[in-house]
Structures are given as structure tokens and as C-alpha cells.
Amino acid sequence: MARRTIVSGAWMIAALAACGDPAQVESDLTETTTTEHYAFHFAAGDSVDVEWQEAFHAWVSAELEITEPRRLEYFKYRDRAHLASITGRSTNGFAEPGTLRFHTIWPIDNHEGVHTLVLLHLGHPPALFNEGVAVAHQTDPFAGDLVARWSGQDIHDLARTFLRQRRIPALTALLRSPDFFSHSDAITYPTAGSFVRWLLDRYGLGAFRALLAGASFDDPAETTRQRFQTAYGMPLEDAWTAWQSWLEMEGS
């Protein structure tokens, strides 16, 4: 399921302005269901899978070592046209940075809600890591499937295929958020997810949290390189190369 999320800086201001009148959202999404960790808002005749969502929340919160005592605000739309008519955004979903609110067309969510938690508790890094951490946690704990997937496919398998096809953009073309979004999300999102999943599995959560602490979505490339060096004790380029070597080795 391809997704987009709201970003910060000038892009965030424009995006938040497009979120529509809250009164209109309330008038269209007339149904509300609350659970321990969510307030679900959806249209009459529509539905969400609250049991699945609570299972995912428990898993991802433990994975990221986050405790959010407040309910996340989950706004569910029938389809892209419905979401666009209310929010003004042509997308499958997005999160509102710094708030508990996210919007999606899906009855289950393992992406936008991750953004919500990460942005509130860990930081708002450039898109490579912002989208990467969300995709790295696109799992299905309810079904016991903890493999991160993009459109149903293992993100490492996708990244390996893209690498062998020489379709992964150069790292220098992905470090700034506008540059990241200038490429196809069908390539960049699973690629970023694979890289971040590899970082988390190899080096643990502590280094990644250190990378995100104080980071900004609008950081220039050199700032991101410096933050990575401080957090991981190695150049970002070296980690990128090691990740690609691992992909090749695991796929051989």
C-alpha cells in the first residue's frame, strides 16, 4: 500500500492548511469508536479493524520503546476521493506532525500511526529516515507476521531487486527531503525501509534514537551526515555500502 505523509517546514504549513475544516471532517466522519489507544472516526457504513490496530499498537510501541498515554486520532475515509474531498489532499494517507491525528483510507494502519508516534517521541528526521522508520515497521503482528512489507513484498527482497536492477538512487540524491520525494515512492519507500530495518537490526534502537534526537525534516545533507557519524560512529556512506553488501550476500 503506497502512502504519503505530511512533512515539516514550508511543506508542512501548506499541507496542514489543506487538511480541511475540522467541522467538515466531523460532519462526514460521523461514527466514532474508542479503544485503549485510539479514537477511530469513520463514515456511516464504513469500518475499521480495531482488534488488529490495538495489536499493532502494542507491538510497535514496544519495538520503538514508546509510551503514549493519549489516544491516537485515526480518521478513516472510504477511498482516495473521499479523503481528497474532505482534506484537499490526493493521497492514501498522511499524518499531522506534532499531533495525535492521522488520516488514511485503510481499515488497518501500520504506517501513518508510526509517523505519529515517532514524530511525537523520537524526532522528525529527513525523509530518508522518516519514511524509512515507518516502512521498516509495516508488519502484521495480529497474524504473527513480523516481516516488514511494501505492497505485500518483503522490503529487503524489493531493495535487493532494485539494487541488482540499478534502480536505487545514489545516496546523495536521497539525503535532502525534497530530493527524496522527487523519485518514485515505489522505489524510495521500500529502499528507505530496508536500510532503516537493517540499521535497527544490526545496531539497535539506541543509535537510531540518537540520530533522530534534534533532527529536522529540512536538515541539509551535510547535517544528516554529521548526525549519523555522531550516532553510529561511522560515515553514513559506509553504512549505506555495508547495507547494500548485506543485501547481495543475503540474496546469494
Q: Which residues contact 249 (CB under 8 A, 6 or more apart)?
A: none
Candidates 97, 117, 115, 124; CA nearest to 214 is: 124
* Polymer length in residues for the chain: 252
Q: Taking residues 33-40, report their average pLDDT.
A: 98
Q: Give per-residue pLDDT as tens, 87-129.
A: 999 999 999 999 999 999 999 999 999 999 999 999 999 999 9
For 186-223, write each residue's pLDDT tens digit: 999 999 999 999 999 999 999 999 999 999 999 999 99
**Domain locations along the chain:** 9-121, 127-250
Q: What is the pLDDT of residue 124?
A: 98
How much is the pLDDT for 52? 99
Q: In terms of pTM, does the model score above 0.85?
A: yes
CA distances from 239 to 51, 63, 64, 130, 156 (A): 38, 22, 21, 17, 16
Q: Which of 2-6, 79-83, 209-213 has the lowest mean pLDDT?
A: 2-6
pLDDT of residue 169: 98
The contacts of residue 109 (CB under 8 Å, 6+ apart) are: 53, 56, 74, 93, 102
Q: Which three cell numbers stand for residue 187?
A: 522505489
